Amino acid sequence: MLKRKLILVAIFIATFMTSIETTIVTTAMPTIISELHGLSIQSWVFAAYLLTTAITTPIYGKLSDRIGRKPIFIFGLAVFVLGSFLCGFAPDMGFLILFRVIQGIGAGAVMPLTFTIIADLFKFEERARVFALNNTAWAISALGGPLLGGYIVDFLNWHWIFFINVPLGIVTLFLTLYAYDEKKRVNSAKKRIDLRGIFALAVTLLMLLLIFQGLSGDQINWLYEGLELLIGLLSFAFFVHSEKKADDPVLQLDLFKNYSFTVQILSTFLISGVIIAYQVYFPIWMQAIYRTPAYLAGVAITPASIMWTVSSFFVGMLMKKFSSRKIAVLALSVFILIYLPVIFSSPSFPQLLFYVISGISGACAGVIITVNTLLAQDLVPKENVGLSSSMIVLARTLGQAMMTGIYGLAFSLGVNGQLSKYPTIKYNDVNNFISTAVHQVLTPKKLHGLENVTLSALQKVFMVVMVLLIIATIINAFDKNLKKDEREAESE
């Protein structure tokens, strides 16, 4: 019992380390850019971490099923700590990006295996409560990351936002080595590792993420986009061909023949795309339309973080009384209703309602993602639990990364569609207005024009959000979603 508690502590710390990485680095980026002189490539500090995490996640999931959770988890922790240590010593932006790649390679193992280890240690009926407890690490990182990052930058220096991971990672390593007793796995020891599948999957995911990252700017290089699409399609075709012939494929494509399993992955992908919308664009809305100071604009997403954690504690109870299909459809219906006013809002739309919408969004997302994770693990054979957990994490990562590009494109189209109505306003004026709206002195006419252009662009973003929610509702509504005892009887 003591060892199980200790490994839960290790999982909590590991979750906290990997989840706080984005928020704490975001806070320090202006200082990092100033000292390392890398404004033109600053976006790659985030993209490098995101890309390598996404690419390695399914690979680690498969390896954990084959080799074992403990060695892969320890390897991921060690690589993440090494990457963090090196980031702290980065002499320029190029080296920082390189070291963020190392961090991402480690995070790709840590994030999915926290879910997998919980699935190994706890019965289905207990997991919802344990996931809820672990979700508090996400909430704390979301709330405390900006504050901690600001404090470190102001009173120490930016290097310590990376160094802080080193002692936390070492503690997690020792706890895992001591407390995690895992049974030896021999089920696929003699099968060859699917190196061709791993390579093809990595190239496919890399091209996919690059395509959607390229859509996020106001100027799109369609030649590069087309080339990346061609390479991505070819590598995906090779991947599917390789998986059909592999002795031990890196992805068990047969798992997707189960409609319920596919629904959980797709639902996670879509809802993660919705999550990144309010996380990124609610603060922009606060700054641009209500002229809220930047340091307060981020508070708009605080209710979402809190309510995500609170709602996930009720998932276990809900799943005992209702089918997961009913839970998902109800939560998604609430999601759709609360975003309808956002799409049709005006500059006089009450600011307080955004905090309400944020809280309800977090509650709905917390319920849906937790249900998706529980079912994805329970719908596969035990030997594929690691793979299913990694697929959930990959869906979350891809959902956020890909939809960031789509939202960027929707925002740019929204701005360009309005500029003809306001000849004196240029695209860069909108960018400046968003970032410095509080401090700018503008004529009433130009202020009115910028507000309308920005509001129209923001509404386009949330129209895309509405499409995602409708698709998620439809695919969940058609899932027969048998209860646990019914699934077990059917499999027999």
The angle subtended at Cα 203 by Cα 198 and Cα 208, nearest 5°, is 125
- Count the neighbouring beta carbons within 10 Å of the beta carbon of residue 193: 17
Most confident option among 90-94, 123-127, 169-173:
169-173
Lowest mean pLDDT among 80-89, 438-447, 482-491: 482-491
The pLDDT of residue 491 is: 47
Convert the pLDDT of each residue in 21-70 to its tens digit.
766 776 676 677 777 776 666 667 777 787 788 888 888 887 887 788 88
What's the pLDDT tens digit per position in 348-374?
888 889 899 999 998 999 899 989 988
User: Residue 338 — very low, low, confident or very high, per pLDDT cuts 50/70/90?
Assistant: very high
pLDDT the model gives residue 482: 56
pLDDT for residue 334: 93
Residue with tokens 């971490």: 49
Q: Residue 127 pLDDT more than 90? A: no
Output the pLDDT for position 217. 58
Q: DSSP label at 252?
A: -
* Predicted pLDDT of residue 489: 45
Cβ-in-10-Å burial (0-12, 13-18, 19+) of 342 comes to: buried
CB 404 within 8 A of CB 289: no
Which phi and psi angles does 203 have, rounded to 5°? -65, -40
Q: pLDDT tens-digit profile of 37-46?
A: 766 666 677 7
Per-residue pLDDT averaged across 182-190, rounded?
Answer: 58
Q: Could you tell me which of 231, 309, 268 has the C-alpha nearest to residue 468? A: 268
Domains of the chain, first to last = 1-179 (1.20.1250.20), 254-481 (1.20.1250.20)
Determine the average pLDDT of the residues in 301-305: 83
Contact call for residues 142 and 70 (beta carbons, < 8 A): no
* Confidence check: pLDDT of 470 > 60: yes
In the Cβ-directed half-sphere of 55, how many Cα atoms lie within 13 Å? Answer: 25
Checking if the pLDDT of 446 tops 60, the result is yes
Write the pLDDT tens digit of every residue in 222-266.
787 788 889 989 988 988 888 777 777 777 777 888 888 899 999
- Cβ neighbours around 377 below 10 Å, total: 24
Q: How many CB atoms lie within 10 A of CB 223?
A: 8
C-alpha distances (whole Å) from 459 to each of 39, 146, 281, 304 are: 29, 27, 10, 20
Q: How far apart are CA 175 and CA 74, in angstroms?
A: 10
For residue 43, the Cα-to-chain-centroid distance in whole angstroms is 17
3-state secondary structure 171-204: HHHHHHHHHCCCCCCCCCCCCCCCHHHHHHHHHH
DSSP single-letter state for residue 446: H
The packing angle between helices 302-312 and 352-378, to 10°, is: 40
**Is-contact 61 76, C-beta < 8 A?**
no
Structure token pair of residue 456: 């129209």
Instruction: Quick: pLDDT tens for 128-157.
Output: 778 777 777 777 777 677 677 777 777 777
Residue with tokens 């499409």: 467
State residue 490's pLDDT score.
Answer: 46
What is the C-alpha separation between 321 and 406, in angstroms, rounded? 37
Q: Which two tokens stand for residue 135?
A: 């979700």
Average pLDDT over residues 283-289: 81
